[in-house]
């Protein structure tokens, strides 16, 4: 099963930080904000506080990045293209 999901101009939910001209030393990261009814702005879900959905994340990043999430660490796979998938 595949889900195609597009979020345009989200109010909140997924934030990125990258260096730019004004702040060349800024750290590179992406974070999510799932606080009450905010997950819907970055992933397809039933987004209500009383709904407890089980999720499994497969986070693929360049090898130089560390992927972290709540829950159980299920492993890591390195790929020939220099990326790593953390589950």
Are 45 and 69 members of one domain? no
Instruction: Note down the domain range covering 39.
Output: 12-51
Are 17 and 45 members of one domain? yes
Are 47 and 62 members of one domain? no
pLDDT in tens, 14-55: 888 999 999 999 999 988 888 878 888 888 888 888 888 788
- Residue 2 pLDDT > 80, yes or no? no
Are 40 and 63 members of one domain? no
- Counting the structural domains of the chain, the total is 2
Strand residues in 6-82 grouped as ranges (E): 14-17, 29-32, 59-62, 76-78
- Residue 12 pLDDT > 90, yes or no? no
Are 66 and 86 members of one domain? yes
What's the pLDDT at 85? Answer: 94
Residue at 3 is within a domain? no
pLDDT in tens, 59-83: 999 988 889 888 899 999 999 999 9
Give the confidence band of 1 by pLDDT, cuts at 50, 70, 90.
low
């Amino acid at each position: 099963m595949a889900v195609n999901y597009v979020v345009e101009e989200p109010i909140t939910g997924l934030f990125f930080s990258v260096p730019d001209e004004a702040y060349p030393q800024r750290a590179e990261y992406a974070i999510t904000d799932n606080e009450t009814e905010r997950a819907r702005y970055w992933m397809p879900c039933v987004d209500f506080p009383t709904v407890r959905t089980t999720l499994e994340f497969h986070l693929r990043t360049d090898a130089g990045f560390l992927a972290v999430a709540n829950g159980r660490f299920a492993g890591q796979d390195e790929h020939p293209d220099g990326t790593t998938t953390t589950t």
